[in-house]
Structures are given as C-alpha cells and as structure tokens.
Structure 1
C-alpha cells in the first residue's frame, strides 16, 4: 500500500461550480497544471467510466525533469466515481519507463459546502514512490490555488 498525500482549500464558489470545473475539459486544461507547467488534454471521454489523457509540460525542465520525457509528464486519468456535486474520484497512471512511477494513484476530490463557498479536499492514495511527497502536496495545493483563481474570477465558470 502506497502513501497518501493531501491538500485542501476553501474556494469562493458553490460546490456545483467546483464540480463542473473538475469535469469540464477546457476548465481542466486551464487550472489543473500546477505552477511551472502547462497542460493539454489529448483525448476526452466524459462521464462515469470515461476519462482523459493529459500531457503536462514543464516550462523549465532543467528544474523538474519529467516522468515521461525530459520535459513532460503524461498521465491517463479514469473517472472511477462521479457524485455531483460532492465528489470526483480519478484513477491516474503515469506513462513512464521508471518503475518508481508505476501503479495506479487514486485522486479523490471531496467538495463540501462551506458558507458561500466550497471546502475542497484532495487525497491522493497509492502515490508512486518516485513522486516526492512535499513536491506532490505543493503541486496539489498549486492546482487548488489555480482552481480558486479560475472560479473566483466569475467569468471563467464552465
């Protein structure tokens, strides 16, 4: 059993808007890549049992070598559970030759109403051993900050 990494944040948007941003292709491409990366979705199959393939490219690969190539992380995501507007569970598999990145990581996004906003808690379980915990948790926190900025701008809601 692998380790579990976590991060959370309150976002000034209702749970339905947060859920939509977690299940909308254009939204995910905009906010999901953490700082220092950009993302592109290669294929998209929304809904239960579907998923997507995201190519994450490091803006400066010298500081952060990729898992798939020198400058990229490629990850196949499956939607394991979709419970609008409360939860999104994803199964993530990195494309990598290094066995330290092998296995299926589960990302659970729990959304709980918090006043006029949403408390978003992300738990990543069975994290591959090659992913540094502090870096991973900082990356999740960065994605959550991007999500907050995206939704709180008001005109970017899916």
Structure 2
C-alpha cells in the first residue's frame, strides 16, 4: 500500500460554487493545474463509472520532467463516487514507462460548509513512490489556491 497525502484549505465561496468547479470541464482546466503547468481535459464524464483524462503540460520542461513524457503528465481515471455538493472520489493513474509512477491512486475531493465559505479537503491514497511527498502536497496546495481564486472571481454566481 502506498502513501497517503492530505491537504485542506478554506475557500471563500459556497459549497455549491466549489462543487460546481469540481464538476465543470472548463473550470478544471483553469484551476486544477498546479504552478508551472497548463491543463487540457480530453475526457470528462463526472458520474460513477465515468472516465476522466487530463493532459498537464509543463510550462518550463527544463525545470523538471513529466511523469508521462519529458514535458507532460497524463492523468487518466474513473469516477468511483460522486455525491452532489459533497465529494468526488476518483481512481487515477499516470500512463508512464517508469514503474515508480505505476499503480492506481485514489483521490477524494470533499467540500463542507465553513464560516465565511467552505473547507475543501483533498486526500490522495496509494500515492506512487515516484511522486515526492513534499512536491505532491505543494502541487495540491497550488491547485486549491487556484480553486479559491477561481471561485472568488466568480462573484455570487452559483457555478462556472
């Protein structure tokens, strides 16, 4: 069994706004890529059994390397559980020739009401050994920060 990484953050938006950003393809492309990456969702069916695929491209491949190729991380997954307004559970993997990135990681995105907005928690279980713990938590934190900025920029709109 692999490592578990968990990060949480307060977001100044309603749970409805946050959950809408979880379940909108265009929104994910805006907020999910961590610092130093851009994202493109090529498959997205947010229902139990539905598939998910995102291509994350490094903006500076000389600074680091991708898991799937020199400049990319490809994330493929299946939605395991979708609880409207509460949580999304995905089983994801990184197609890679490097065995250190092999295996299926379970990621749970959860949102709950909190004073002044919502609290978002991300739990990644069975994290592949090739993903350094500090780097992973930094990446998740960057995504959550992007999410907070994205939903704050939406004003009082209910979703993306």
Identify the TM-score tier after normalising by the shorter chain: over 0.9
Matched, 1:12 2:12: yes
TM-score, length-scaled by structure 2: 0.95
Equivalent residues in 2 for 1:1-158, closer than 5 Å: 1-154=1-154, 157-158=159-160
After superposition, the C-alpha distances for 1:102-146 in whole angstroms (9 at most, x for unaligned) are 000011112110023110011100000000000000000000000
Q: Is 138-147 or 101-110 further displaced after alignment?
A: 101-110
Q: Whole-Å Cα distance in 1 between the matches of residues 47 and 2 of structure 2?
A: 27
TM-score where L is the length of structure 1: 0.96
Matches of 1:118 and 1:84, distance apart in 2 = 15
Structural RMSD (CA): 1.2
| 2:40 alignment partner, SS class | strand
Q: Distance in 1 between matches of 2:6 and 2:44?
A: 26
Q: Unaligned stretches of 5+ in structure 1?
A: none
Cα distance per residue 1:35-64 (max 9 Å; x no partner): 100000112223221121100000011112
